[in-house]
Structure 1
Amino acid sequence: MPEGNFQSRWLAPGVDDVWNQFLTVTHRLEHQIDRRLQDNHGITHTQYEILVRLADAPKHALRMSDLAERIVTAKSAVTYQIGKLADMGLVERHKCESDNRGVWVKLTDAGRERLEKAAPCILSLVRELFLDAITCDQADELNKLLETWAGNLDRIERGA
């Protein structure tokens, strides 16, 4: 931890409230989506996102490292989730022919079917828990904020 006045590094009360509310709301949204997907379709939100990324990829396949990057998580977490999805028959793993360390993940027909059945659940949840609660103007403002944060993260991750 850098030296200096620790107290001066705390967030101001109003800003602290915004940050805590942001964390609480995002965690609660994730929990609701996760719970409903598990109850209705037997998969987690992370597993759903993996299936979506594979469905959108050429030949419905991605290298494990590319998949981890696209869902913004650690490779070990993707490996764990892919193991669960493979056990359910929703994806298949294949060694990369050009790189013995690489692994390809491919969406199976069963995975595509599960995704197609779960998609309406996600869409209704996005509407019910998120979009129906805000106006079009609020959605535009939120989008501007998200673009600002994404740009800041891009700059930091590029090391600029």
Structure 2
Amino acid sequence: MGAGDFESRWLAPDVNAVWTRFLHVTHRLEHHIDRRLQEQHDITHTQYEILVRLADSDERAMRMSDLAERIVTAKSAVTYQVNKLSEMGLVDRHKCDRDNRGVWVKLTDAGVERLEGAAPCILSLVRELFLDTLNCDQAAELDKLLGTWSDNLDEHDRNPIGHPDHRAPDPA
């Protein structure tokens, strides 16, 4: 393997710096939100996201598999978090009437109360740590970049790399 082959396996230093900074900033943002929610509302950010998705769904209930897909995490991770939320009385779990394999999760009144109490905390943090640091032009540019990344991820979800249907980008 020549030096060029080895080099092509790694990101260029300037690009790697951008990637590393992106990861660092997003992890720190997640850490701040998670810590504040735990300190003030005794729930994690993931648990908050579960409560939000349930509150936004019909009859405040969803199948566990749909919930995992909506918060973009493994079913086992959602099961763990839902078990914790159930122990706190914030959600109820029950078997699906039509499908014995399916499990439904329903937001309880106590869950709605916890969500409503935590929402101002999240909104304050999103403003303080994220939105207030951007001017209108930066926010528009970030929205454009996020749209580009989202579209790219959607394409990879449809045609994963290494999957027989994956098509290499057209060089033209």
Q: Common fold, TM-score beyond 0.5?
A: yes
Among the aligned pairs, what percent are the same residue? 75
TM-score, structure 1 normalization: 0.96
- Residue matched to 1:152: 152
- What stretches of structure 2 of length at least 5 have no aligned partner? 160-165, 167-172
Shift of residue 8, structure 1, vs aligned partner: 1.4
Partner SS, residue 46 of structure 2:
helix
TM-score, structure 2 normalization: 0.90
Look up the equivalent residue of 1:62 and give its one-letter code: M
Residue 95 in structure 1 maps to residue 95 in structure 2: yes
- Residue matched to 1:55: 55
- Residue matched to 2:10: 10
Look up the equivalent residue of 1:133 and give its one-letter code: T
Partner SS, residue 28 of structure 1:
helix
Q: What is the aligned-residue RMSD (CA, Å)? A: 1.0
CA–CA distance in structure 1, aligned partners of residues 136 and 50 of structure 2: 29
Q: Which runs of 4+ in 1 moved over 3 A?
A: none
Shift of residue 5, structure 1, vs aligned partner: 2.3
CA–CA distance in structure 2, aligned partners of residues 156 and 89 of structure 1: 38
Partner SS, residue 62 of structure 2:
strand
Shift of residue 9, structure 1, vs aligned partner: 1.4
Q: How many residues align?
A: 157
CA–CA distance in structure 1, aligned partners of residues 102 and 145 of structure 2: 37
- Residue matched to 1:65: 65
Look up the equivalent residue of 2:122 and give its one-letter code: I
Shift of residue 68, structure 1, vs aligned partner: 0.2
Residue 38 in structure 1 maps to residue 38 in structure 2: yes
- Residue matched to 2:107: 107
- What stretches of structure 1 of length at least 5 have no aligned partner? none
- Residue matched to 2:162: none
